[in-house]
């Protein structure tokens, strides 16, 4: 059987992921089917340990589900949120520009993701889960790649405690940076195994593996364009697609190279806290400084009980924002973002959601570029005509939009109450970026409450099912 992984065929791959179920009880499967997967898992457990250079601390169990069984589990997860909670979640994402009006994160999540996961690992369970596409006992070659991927997660969990790592993140940006590391390692190592499965041995160089990810990334981008054209928010898929096919594996390869021990004593010992570090590995080091923002006074001025989200979006979600609104240069617009804090808060007097966003850029030129493009984005969102090149201030008092640049910093206010405008501007101007050393052993950064915009993904690590066969490249 040709494995659907390496480039060389004109077919466009379609990649999907499912995230966010709790660890369900194993369904009633035949003893033979369970035995087949258990034996394969035990064999692959030894291979993962040998390839990775460290042993499992505890044995790993395997559970098997049909697509229909898993779809039912996901449906239950989605309905576990109240209607009010789902509505608030959607409104916050819409206010932040990550989704368009009248779109539903949960509906798109269910329709796109609920039946196409290949496997998943839930923190702290020592159990991997395989989802069969059809009602067959398996295992197939694709199932073995899925198991290998999930075993890497189990090994990560046993050595680094994935639950503790997730609990330590303090923003969406740091959450996705962590996820890119965790999924990036699993996808990279799983692809090496897929190569071995077809060629008979691991490649003598990483070249064919990296060529595969180049192809994956292109196919993933085509898929993202297709779901966007179908009216689904990019936010549902783009962050996860980039974890697997664009930035996660490339970051691991760039930093660790052929020495897997670097993953342990360097990457997991000094995890990136911003997606920009993963997207641009040259900016990552174990002895680095990061820009952070002290926004305590602004939060107190707004009133913390009214704040629905206080978060750092970072470069990756800024890319999602501009791509959602059809800016072809979204990567160029977002690159150079050093730090940010976004607020969405509720004004009970008018029952209105209001927005504030403070950003710090690499220099004044990248800041000015962001400001002009954000003005154009607001014009598309609101159907208004902000001047996109008005110097250091762009404002529309009728539609309550205000942008101001001070050197490398740019801040945004939207839907602000007129009576609070001067106070909000004053508080925004008082925010100062500061550098915090993130050398190994340094304390974590200050926590601020943020809305978990990972949706249903948090706490569960997945393998994307590769659904369209691709010609495998095997050297002669």
Report residue 373's pLDDT band, with 50, 70 and 90 as the boundaries: very high
Using CA atoms, how far apart are residues 133 and 392, in angstroms rounded to an integer?
Answer: 55
Reduce the secondary structure of 214-269 to three states and give it as a string: HHHHHHHHHHHHHHHHCCCCHHHCHHHHHHHHCCHHHHHHHHHCCCCHHHHHHHHC
Apex 90 CA angle, 446 and 20, nearest 5? 70
Whether the per-residue pLDDT at 379 is higher than 70: the answer is yes
Q: CA 434 from chain center: how many Å?
A: 26
Which pLDDT belongs to residue 6? Answer: 37
202-230: average pLDDT:
90
206: helix, coil or strand? coil
Output the DSSP codes for 18-29: ------PPPP--
Apex 221 CA angle, 334 and 97, nearest 5? 45
Residues 6+ apart with CB under 8 A from 328: none
Mean pLDDT value across the chain = 85
Run of H or E residues at 339: strand 337-347
Report residue 67's pLDDT band, with 50, 70 and 90 as the boundaries: confident
70-76 long-range contacts, CB within 8 A, separation 24+ = 70/18, 70/21, 70/114, 70/115, 70/117, 70/131, 71/114, 71/115, 73/21, 73/24, 74/18, 74/20, 74/21, 74/110, 74/113, 74/114, 75/110, 75/114
In this prediction, what percent of the chain has a pLDDT beyond 90?
59
145-165: average pLDDT:
95
* Top-confidence residue, 228 or 331: 331
- Alpha-helical runs (H) found in 325-444: 330-334, 364-382, 421-430
Apex 200 CA angle, 197 and 205, nearest 5? 95
Angle between helical axes of 67-78 and 105-113 (0-180°, round to 10): 170
- Alpha-helical runs (H) found in 325-363: 330-334
Q: CA 50 from chain center: how many Å?
A: 29
Report residue 69's pLDDT band, with 50, 70 and 90 as the boundaries: confident
Output the DSSP codes for 304-320: GGGEEEEE--HHHHHHH
Q: What is the pLDDT of residues 414-445, one digit of tens each?
A: 999 999 999 999 999 999 888 877 754 444 44
Give the least confident one: 65-74, 244-253, 311-320, 355-364. 65-74
**Strand ranges (E), 375-416:** 393-396, 401-406, 409-414
Pick from 137-151, 200-214, 352-366, 378-392 the range whose average pLDDT is largest. Answer: 352-366
Q: What is the pLDDT of residues 9-59, one digit of tens each?
A: 222 222 333 333 445 555 554 566 677 888 999 999 999 999 999 999 999
Whether the per-residue pLDDT at 454 is higher than 80: the answer is no
Report residue 396's pLDDT band, with 50, 70 and 90 as the boundaries: very high
In this prediction, what percent of the chain has a pLDDT beyond 70?
82
* Top-confidence residue, 273 or 77: 273
- In this prediction the pTM is 0.90
Whether the per-residue pLDDT at 476 is higher than 60: the answer is no
Q: Which 8-state DSSP code applies to residue 363?
A: S
212-239: average pLDDT:
90
Residues 6+ apart with CB under 8 A from 287: 437, 439, 440
Q: Which of 417, 461, 451, 460 is nearest to 98 (CA)?
A: 451
């Amino acid at each position: 059987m040709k494995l659907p992984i390496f480039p060389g065929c004109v077919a466009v791959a379609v990649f999907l992921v499912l995230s966010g179920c709790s660890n369900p009880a194993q369904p009633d499967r035949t003893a033979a089917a369970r035995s087949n997967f258990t034996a394969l898992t035990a064999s692959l457990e030894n291979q993962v340990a040998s390839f990775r250079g460290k042993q499992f601390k505890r044995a790993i169990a395997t559970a098997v589900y049909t697509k229909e069984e898993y779809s039912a589990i996901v449906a239950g997860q989605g309905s576990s949120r109240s209607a009010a909670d789902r509505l608030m979640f959607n409104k916050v994402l819409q206010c932040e520009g990550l989704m368009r009006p009248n779109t539903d994160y949960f509906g798109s999540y269910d329709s796109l993701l609920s039946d196409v996961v290949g496997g998943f690992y839930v923190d702290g369970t020592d159990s991997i889960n395989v989802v069969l596409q059809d009602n067959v006992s398996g295992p197939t070659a694709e199932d073995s790649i899925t198991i290998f991927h999930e075993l890497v997660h189990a090994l990560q969990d046993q050595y680094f405690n994935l639950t503790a790592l997730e609990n330590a993140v303090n923003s969406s940006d740091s959450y996705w940076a962590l996820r890119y590391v965790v999924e990036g390692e699993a996808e990279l190592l799983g692809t090496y195994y897929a190569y071995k499965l077809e060629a008979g041995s691991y490649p003598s160089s990483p070249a064919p593996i990296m060529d595969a990810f180049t192809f994956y990334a292109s196919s993933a981008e085509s898929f993202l364009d297709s779901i966007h054209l179908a009216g689904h928010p990019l936010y549902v898929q783009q962050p996860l697609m980039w974890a697997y096919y664009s930035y996660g594996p490339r970051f691991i390869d760039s930093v660790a190279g052929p020495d897997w021990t670097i993953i342990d004593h360097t990457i997991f010992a000094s995890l990136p806290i911003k997606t920009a570090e993963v997207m641009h590995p040259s900016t990552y080091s174990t002895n680095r400084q990061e820009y952070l923002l002290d926004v305590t006074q602004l939060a107190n001025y707004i009133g913390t009980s009214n704040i629905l989200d206080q978060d750092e979006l970072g470069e990756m979600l800024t890319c999602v924002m501009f791509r959602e609104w059809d800016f072809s240069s979204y990567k160029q617009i977002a690159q150079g973002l050093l730090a940010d804090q976004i607020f969405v808060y509720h004004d009970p007097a008018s029952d209105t959601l209001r927005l504030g966003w403070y950003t710090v850029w690499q220099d004044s030129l990248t800041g000015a570029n962001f400001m002009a493009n954000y003005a154009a984005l607001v014009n598309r969102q609101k159907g208004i005509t902000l001047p996109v090149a008005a110097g250091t201030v762009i404002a529309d008092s009728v539609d309550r939009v205000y942008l101001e640049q001070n050197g490398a910093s740019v801040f945004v206010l939207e839907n602000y109450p007129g009576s609070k405008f001067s106070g909000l501007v004053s508080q925004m101007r008082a925010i100062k970026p500061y550098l915090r050393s993130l050398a190994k052993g340094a304390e974590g950064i200050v926590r601020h409450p943020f809305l978990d915009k990972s949706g249903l993904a948090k706490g569960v690590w997945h393998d994307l099912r590769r659904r369209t066969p691709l010609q495998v490249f095997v050297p002669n």
